[in-house]
Amino acid sequence: MDLQLTGLRAVVTGGTRGIGRAIVDSLAAEGAAIAFCARTEADVEAAVVELTDAGTQAVGGAVDVADGPSLAAWVRESAEALGGLDIVVANVSALAIGPDERKWQASFEVDLMHTVHLIDAAMPFLEKSEAASIVVVSSVSGREVDFAAPAYGSLKAALVHHTQSLAFQLADKGIRANSVSPGKVFFPGGIWERAKNGNPELYNQALALNPTGRMGRPGEVACAVTMLASPRASFITGTNLVVDGALTRGIQL
C-alpha cells in the first residue's frame, strides 16, 4: 500500500538510535523528507550521511530537547531547510525510572515538556500543511502500573492525555494527533540490552510477562508511527495505538 508520504516533510526527535532511528528510516523509505535531532553531534552527522547516500533529503541537529528555546529554533531551521513541515514525531524520553525528585523533573522536562515545546514550535507550519499529523511516542507504562512507576509512567500517561486533547482542539484545522505506546522493545544499546547484561533477573522477569515470548523490535513500533503519520490514516485522530505483543492486560475502551 502506498502511504502517500512521498514529498511530505517530517521532524523526529531522538532520531539516531532505537525506535527513533527506525521511525526516521521508515518515513524515509516511504518517500518523506526528514529532519531529526539527537544529543550527540557525531551520531547525527553519521545518520545524515547514511540517509543522504540512500537518496533521502535529510537534515539533522544536535539538540538538548529539554532546552525549549533551542528546540524551537531547531524546528524553525528544519522547516526552512525542508520547505515546511507536515509531520511531527515526538520520540525522546529521559527514561528516568525511579521515585526521587530528580527522576520526576527529568521526566517532566524531557518526556512531557519537550513534546509540548516541539509541537508548539511546529504549529505555524502544520497549520499550512494539507496533511498535518502529530505522533507522540508514549509507553504502556502510562497505561498500567509497572516497574517504571512512578515518574516515568505518570508522565507517559500525561503524554497520551495531552495528545488526545490536541486531537480534539486541532480537528477543525485538519491537524491529526495520535500517540503510540510501545511495550518492551529490545535493541543494541537500549535499556533492555543493558538489563540483559547487567540485571538478568529483571530482564528475564520482563521477558516472561509477554505471551509472545519476546520483546518488540524498533521497526515494529516505527511501522505503527509511520501509518498513523500518513495520509492513509486521515480519519484516525485522538487514538492511542498500543504496540506491545499483548503484554498489557487492561481493556482500552
Residues designated as active site: 138-139, 152, 156
Closest CA to 22 of 243, 246, 248: 243
Closest CA to 135 of 240, 231, 31, 33: 240
At 160, which helix (H) or strand (E)?
helix 151-170
CA-to-CA dists, residue 97 to 17, 93, 150, angstroms: 20, 11, 8
The CA distance from 99 to 105, in Å, is: 11
Instruction: Say if residues 18 and 187 touch (Cβ distance below 8 Å).
Output: yes
Q: Which residue has the cell 528546540?
A: 71
Q: At residue 189, what is the residue type?
A: G
